[in-house]
């Protein structure tokens, strides 16, 4: 062996060690982040499915804003500090409203519960209480932990993921050749091929989604530049995004100008549909109306805005042209959130996201397989790792199905039902994780996958029987129920294959040697 070959070999071995251990330590959380984050590509659609009482027809943003303002005024919110109005769009057919009352002396600001309004009339919608797709979206970067600990843990795991991607590329000798190799029914060899294919197929996607995920919270992870240059963080928003400074109430009452003409003017100035309206000090002569553009038509998620004087309708502030740093940051967030994606691109991103979950899951399985090979050094925690693999890979889908099923089975007018749906998700996931300890690993995989198949199929059946929106021709409900049945079929196949006998010892040993030397 030549002397020049030693550093390369040493580097590859070091990268393999880093790749394996970082993948293991963060793998279970990364699998959950990938799976729930991938589901979040259809966050509005999940919410609408979980609130079948919502209207299906869309109302123009200007008319929806006018109806919402009239509703808030009728309900006696004229003395509030701020109103937040989130307007309907092509994927959301309701208006969401938050009102923030004026705080008492020394008390923190608090907002009222969310109101869901009919966009055409402003009347409250009697929809069932649920967190909808927001639950999956929030969980994928907060991990159901108190703020900010969940976000810090998600960021640490994303950093591990980025390092694992780089080390995996350096480690793999035949990264592109193995992309075209997929051997079926070959035991551990097949798992290795699946891991390689899922990693290489969407390698750019995995790298971009991981890096941009870190960028979405970079201000929290690295607050020092802003803290060094600005006494108040809001001052940074004034300079970077052109946010209008908050104006204090004057104490002189004044009526708001009609809101619809302001939104039409804002749509022309911002060159895009409005998505949010913030009204500060409504009913006061110093009231302001800030209209923000939707990010659904641009890869740049930055939402430029224009601010009007609420009493006169005069423009008092507008977002300046974005500089290269702000534009780059907005594009990174846009790439991660993918709100700009049309349905076909959204489905493609969804499929790429599932390859990420498959890559992490097969990597975890290969880690245990490599340490079960003949002659491998004993590892005391191997049984624990194997059980955690079952809990994460097979248990989480059952919990997600239980969350959707609870939405259909709980009474629609039950108080606190949103929290009960979330509890159903985690209690079911915990029950699967605990119950599989009573079974052998092979049987535990089979039972957990079978439970997931039953739960997803039961959710589709419950929707058709209890709601029947699919029978009315609503394409969203038809597509959603079809997707649930497809997931049920996929998990049923996984349960059937998990119950097959293992490969013969000699063939398994050869396959494991390939895993460890790839």
The whole-number average pLDDT for the span 85-94 is 89
Same-domain status, 273 and 398? no
Q: State whether 48 and 65 are in the same domain.
A: no
Take residue 423 and report the two structure tokens written for it. 């509890």
Please give the share of the chain, as a percent, with pLDDT higher than 70: 84
427 and 343 in a common domain: yes
Indicate the angle between helix axes 395-409 and 417-435, nearest 10 degrees.
150
Band (pLDDT 50/70/90 cuts) for residue 48 is very high
The gap from C-alpha 510 to its chain's centroid, in whole angstroms, comes to 40
Strands lying side by side in the sheet with 274-280: 115-117, 95-100, 82-86, 274-280, 288-293, 305-309, 315-318
Cα–Cα distance between 339 and 40 in angstroms, integer? 11
Average pLDDT value for residue range 91-97: 88
pLDDT of res. 1? 44
pLDDT confidence of residue 110: 64
pLDDT tens digit string along 410-425? 999 999 999 999 999 9
Per-residue tokens: 371: 């340490």
pLDDT at 298: 84
pLDDT at residue 169 greater than cutoff 80: no
The reply to whether 72 falls in a domain is yes
330 falls within a domain: no
The highest-confidence range among 176-180, 230-234, 335-339, by mean pLDDT, is 335-339
Looking at the fold, whether 72 and 159 belong to one and the same domain comes out as: no
Query: What's the whole-model pTM score?
Result: 0.87
- The answer on 394 and 448 residing in a single domain is yes
- Please identify, among 274, 290, 319, the residue that sits at the C-terminal boundary of a domain: 319
Same domain, 95 and 143: no
Within a domain: 226: no
Question: What is the model's pLDDT at position 515?
Answer: 44
**Same domain, residue pair 249 and 382:** no
What is d(CA 393, CA 137) in angstroms, rounded to the nearest whole number?
Answer: 18
HEC assignment per residue over 353-422:
HHHHHHHHHHHHHHHHHHCCCCCCCCCCCHHHHHHHHHHHHHHHHHHHHHHHHHHHHCCCCCCCHHHHHH
Verify that 490 and 411 share a domain, yes or no: yes
Q: Convert the pLDDT of each residue in 441-498 to its tens digit.
A: 999 999 999 999 999 999 999 999 988 766 676 888 999 999 999 999 999 999 988 7
Higher pLDDT, 325 or 280: 280
pLDDT in tens, 2-20: 444 444 456 777 777 777 7
Whether the predicted pLDDT of 508 surpasses 60: no
Give the structural domain span for 267: 61-125+243-319
Q: What pLDDT, on the 0 to 100 scale, is given for residue 382?
A: 87
Q: Are the beta carbons of 315 and 291 closer than 8 angstroms?
A: no
Which of 142-156, 170-184, 318-332, 441-455 has the least mean pLDDT? 170-184
Do 44 and 178 sit in the same domain of this protein? yes
43 plus 157 within the same structural domain: yes
- Structural domain ending residue among the three candidates 319, 348, 369: 319
The 10 Å Cβ neighbour count of residue 200 is 20
Evaluate if residue 92 carries a pLDDT over 70: yes
Domains: count for the chain: 2
Cα–Cα distance between 395 and 110 in angstroms, integer? 37
Nearest Cα neighbor of 123 from 100, 97, 99, 101 is: 97
């Amino acid at each position: 062996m030549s002397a020049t070959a030693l550093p390369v070999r040493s580097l590859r071995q070091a990268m393999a060690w880093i790749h394996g251990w970082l993948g293991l330590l963060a793998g279970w959380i990364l699998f959950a982040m990938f799976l729930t984050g991938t589901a979040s590509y259809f966050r509005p659609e999940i919410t609408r499915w979980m609130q079948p009482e919502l209207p299906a027809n869309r109302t123009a943003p200007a008319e929806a804003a006018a109806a919402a303002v009239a509703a808030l005024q009728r309900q006696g919110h004229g003395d509030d500090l701020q109103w937040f109005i989130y307007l309907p769009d092509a994927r959301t057919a309701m208006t969401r409203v938050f009102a923030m009352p004026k705080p008492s002396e020394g008390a923190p600001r608090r907002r009222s519960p969310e109101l869901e309004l009919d966009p055409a009339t402003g009347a409250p919608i009697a929809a069932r209480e649920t967190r909808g797709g927001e639950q999956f979206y929030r969980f994928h970067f907060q991990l159901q932990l108190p703020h900010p600990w969940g976000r810090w843990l998600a960021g640490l795991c994303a950093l591990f993921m980025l390092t694992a991607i780089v080390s995996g590329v350096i480690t793999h000798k035949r990264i592109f050749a193995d992309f075209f190799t997929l051997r079926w029914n070959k035991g551990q060899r097949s798992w290795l091929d699946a891991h390689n294919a899922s990693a290489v197929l969407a390698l750019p996607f995995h790298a971009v989604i991981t890096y941009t995920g870190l960028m979405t919270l970079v201000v929290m992870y690295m607050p020092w530049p802003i803290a060094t240059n600005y006494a108040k963080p809001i001052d940074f928003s004034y300079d970077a995004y052109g946010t209008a400074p908050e104006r204090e109430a004057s104490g002189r009452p004044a009526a708001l100008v009609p809101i619809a003409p302001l939104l039409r003017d804002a749509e022309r100035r911002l060159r895009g549909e409005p998505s949010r309206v913030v009204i500060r000090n409504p009913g006061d002569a110093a009231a302001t109306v800030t209209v923000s553009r939707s990010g659904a038509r641009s890869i740049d998620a930055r939402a430029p805005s224009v601010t009007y004087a609420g009493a006169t309708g005069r423009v008092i502030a507008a977002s300046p042209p974005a500089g290269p740093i702000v534009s780059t940051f907005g594009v990174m967030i846009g790439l991660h959130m993918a709100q700009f994606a049309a349905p076909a691109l959204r489905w493609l991103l969804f499929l790429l996201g599932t390859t990420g979950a498959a890559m992490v899951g097969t990597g975890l399985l290969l880690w245990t397989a490599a340490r079960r090979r003949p002659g491998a050094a004993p590892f005391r925690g191997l049984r624990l790792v194997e059980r955690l693999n079952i809990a994460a890979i097979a248990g989480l889908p059952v919990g997600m199905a239980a969350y959707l099923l609870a939405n259909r089975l709980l009474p629609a007018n039950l108080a606190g039902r949103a929290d009960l749906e979330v509890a159903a998700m985690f209690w079911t996931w915990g029950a699967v994780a605990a119950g599989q300890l009573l079974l052998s690993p092979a049987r535990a995989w089979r039972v957990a996958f079978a439970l997931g198949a039953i739960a997803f199929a039961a959710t589709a059946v419950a929707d058709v029987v209890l709601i029947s929106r699919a029978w009315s021709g609503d394409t969203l409900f038809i597509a959603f129920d079809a997707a649930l049945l497809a997931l049920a079929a996929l998990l049923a196949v996984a349960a059937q294959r998990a119950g097959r006998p293992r490969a013969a010892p000699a063939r398994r040993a050869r396959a494991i040697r390939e895993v460890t030397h790839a």
